[in-house]
A and B are shown apart, each in its own frame.
Chain A
Amino acid sequence: MIQTKHLCKFYRGSDNEVRAVDDVSLTISAGRFAVLTGPSGSGKTTLLSLLGALSRPSSGSIVLEGRELNSCSDVQMARVRQNIGFVFQNFSLLPRLPVWENVTYPLIPRGILPVARFEIAHQVLRRLGIASKVENRPDQLSGGEQQRVAVARALASEPRILLADEPTSNLDRRAAAELIEIFQEIHATGVTLILSTHNSQLLDLATDIFELKQGKMICPREIGAPVRPKDC
């Protein structure tokens, strides 16, 4: 389970303080398909970064599977990240490494040998339908394929939580539809999914929707449950 309480993240701008995430409290149970939505600049990416232990909040707390992240050391934060898969909006692949190396680079500190890593990469990429690209470099792939590699990297360490930042925004309709199918399959295996998106198809699949505006949560919604007016 992921729980935040009065979560805030402020950035110091040139002449004012930017409140990227402002007093956000939410709870996402294990195995849910949660979607963060809202206009550009509403704080979705920042909130995902906080949930993915990629940055620390200015105030408030995050509890991730029973662990309070605020009290974690940098080393502990790194261990938390090892159990979270993160798909970045711009893929964030290492351009000069082949696909299989990109997918399994996070496994290197675990001491997994290259042969075993290649096997893992092959399995995950086969699951995502791009096993034939295992030796290619990212710049030899289409946007959709690169996004799948990014998903494969997030899945290679078999995380219990997968976060994805606008995963369909850089893809055409067909590639987006294929990726959405992949997310459905991943969710079906029991992985908790938290995505930020504007994509209506993903919104339709969501079990929880959290709408943000100017850093504030304006409408947490559990699909099938009545909307609580006091929260909106």
Chain B
Amino acid sequence: MRRLVEIAKTGLTAILLHPLRSSVTFLALMAILTPYLTGIGLAKGIEQDAKSSLRAGGDLYVSGSQFGRNSSLPTTLVSRIRELDGVAEVVPRIVGRLVLGREHVEAVLVGIPDSRFPASVSCIAGRLPRAGGTNEFVVGTELARRLKLKVGALLPPFYRNPRGEHVSKTVGIFESDVSLWQSNLMFSTFETAEEIFDQEGMATDLVVHCQSGYVNNVSSAIRRMSVTSPKSGKVIRLMVTSREELNVLLAEGQFHREGIFNLHFLLVFVIGILVILITSGLGLPERRREIGILKATGWQTDEILLRSLVESFLLSVGGASASILTAFVWLKVFNGYWIAGVFIPGVARAPSFPVPFRLTPVPAMLAFVIALAITMSGSIWSSWRAAIVPPDEAMR
């Protein structure tokens, strides 16, 4: 045992014996693993944010469908659903896409009754829109930065309806526990959203809060309801999605996004192995000669491989640990500079809100395994090749 420990300790010496090779391997590992860990950390953070949103949301989400496409719902449905047994509250919502400014910045407008603004939204400047105060908005910090909006700033007429062109006013800038909301979300009262999208008496969806144990009953009752469009008189089919179903959809969506990222990463990983194989050629003759010297002085092949294995292991642990630390610094200190834009649509290189992230043990372990695989492929093979030839040949 002591023999193995003493041989293993030479693995550390081997790292110091070849500083250039060790440094290049270490940096290559960091270059490969840090973006991976940062990306996965961001994806997990976004997932956590989305789950928080769901937890803070309703038990059921009711939307309409015509010809298999989403359609808006009449707000008269709100009172009908409220009358169902087990329904605590029904909140109509308008969620729609807007394009703002000369730069055509995409934003999402959420119109909800002023009494139902999410508790997680708090204004860092100004106030929330008030009932009766039409064309008032609060915007997220990131969106405000991109559009150069301050409290009191007027948005030039960005919509017109039969009642003419409208100028809107920024009455507040918000921050949220769900930090992603700050990137492209605007809140207004339900009435303002009705005006903007010219859909009076209509909502894009209804958020239903149920009493405990009533979710399934309420869901079934809503599905059985018959609703017609007030404009066309045609039937609107109601679709009900529960919080649990959204959780599943969220996981699938997240898995898909992570899958694409992992696929890209796989390509980088393959390139990384090639790079490491090439860089492991740095000082290869010197390393080969060194192994020849060890063999000539009585070291055995398995002892040399153990030394090389420990060297790879230490480099992997070092590279993976440094990558985890760098990923954390990238996300926490540099707020996911550049990479946040890959995961959060519409976010600038330097997001002006704290990007959500979560570094979990599984990707960290995976990073270590990847690091070990890369360093092993770079060193064990070349060590083994040098160790199996006669010492005088390796030393030549």
A interface, CB within 8 angstroms of B: 49, 52, 54-56, 74-75, 78-79, 81-82, 86, 88, 92, 94, 96-97, 101, 105-106, 108-114, 153, 157
Contacts and interface: CB of A to CB of B under 8 A. Distances in A.
A113 B6 CA distance: 7
Contacts of A75: 300-301
Q: Which of B3, B298, B388 has the most CB of A within 10 A?
A: B298
A65 to B, nearest CB: 15
Interface residues of B, number: 28
B310 to A, nearest CB: 12
A78 B6 contact: no
Contact of A109 (B290, B299, B392): B299
Nearest to B18: A96
Interface string B270-311: 000000000000000000011001111111110100000000
B83 interface: no
B298 A56 contact: no
B152 interface: no
A108 B6 contact: yes
B390 A108 contact: no
Contact of B391 (A54, A82, A94, A113): A54
B2 A106 contact: no
Given A96-B16, A97-B17, A78 B300 contact: yes
A153 B297 contact: yes
A97 B13 contact: yes
B311 to A, nearest CB: 14
A94 B3 contact: no
List the 9 closest A-B pairs by CB distance, nearest first. Answer: A111-B3, A82-B298, A106-B297, A55-B390, A54-B392, A111-B2, A78-B300, A49-B392, A54-B391
B199 interface: no
A153 B297 CA distance: 9
Contact of A112 (B4, B6, B17): B6
Contact of B298 (A94, A106, A112): A106
Contacts of B392: 49, 54-55
A81 B298 contact: yes
Interface string B1-38: 01111110010010011000000000000000000000
B291 to A, nearest CB: 11
17 contacts: A52-B296, A56-B390, A78-B295, A81-B295, A81-B391, A88-B296, A92-B289, A92-B395, A94-B290, A94-B293, A97-B13, A101-B13, A108-B299, A109-B3, A111-B3, A111-B6, A157-B298
Contacts of B295: 78, 81
A96 B17 contact: yes
A113 B293 contact: no
Nearest to B300: A78
Contacts of B16: 96
Contacts of A108: 6-7, 10, 299
Given A54-B390, A56-B390, A109-B303, A86 B3 contact: no
A110 B300 CA distance: 11
A79 B295 CA distance: 10
Contacts of A49: 390, 392
B103 interface: no
A109 B393 contact: no
Interface in B41-71: none
Nearest to A156: B297
Given A54-B390, A94-B290, A97-B13, A81 B296 contact: yes
B10 A92 contact: no
Contacts of A101: 13
B250 to A, nearest CB: 54
Contact of A94 (B5, B17, B300, B301): B17
Nearest to B391: A54
B297 A74 contact: no
A157 B297 CA distance: 9
Given A55-B390, A74-B301, A109 B293 contact: no
B296 A92 contact: yes
A111 B2 CA distance: 5
A113 to B, nearest CB: 7
A83 to B, nearest CB: 8
B13 A81 contact: no
A109 B7 contact: yes
B294 A105 contact: yes
A173 B95 CA distance: 94
A75 B303 CA distance: 11
A96 to B, nearest CB: 5
B296 A110 contact: no
Contacts of A110: 3
Contacts of A88: 296, 395
A88 B395 CA distance: 10
Contacts of A54: 296, 390-392
Nearest to A84: B298
Nearest to A76: B300
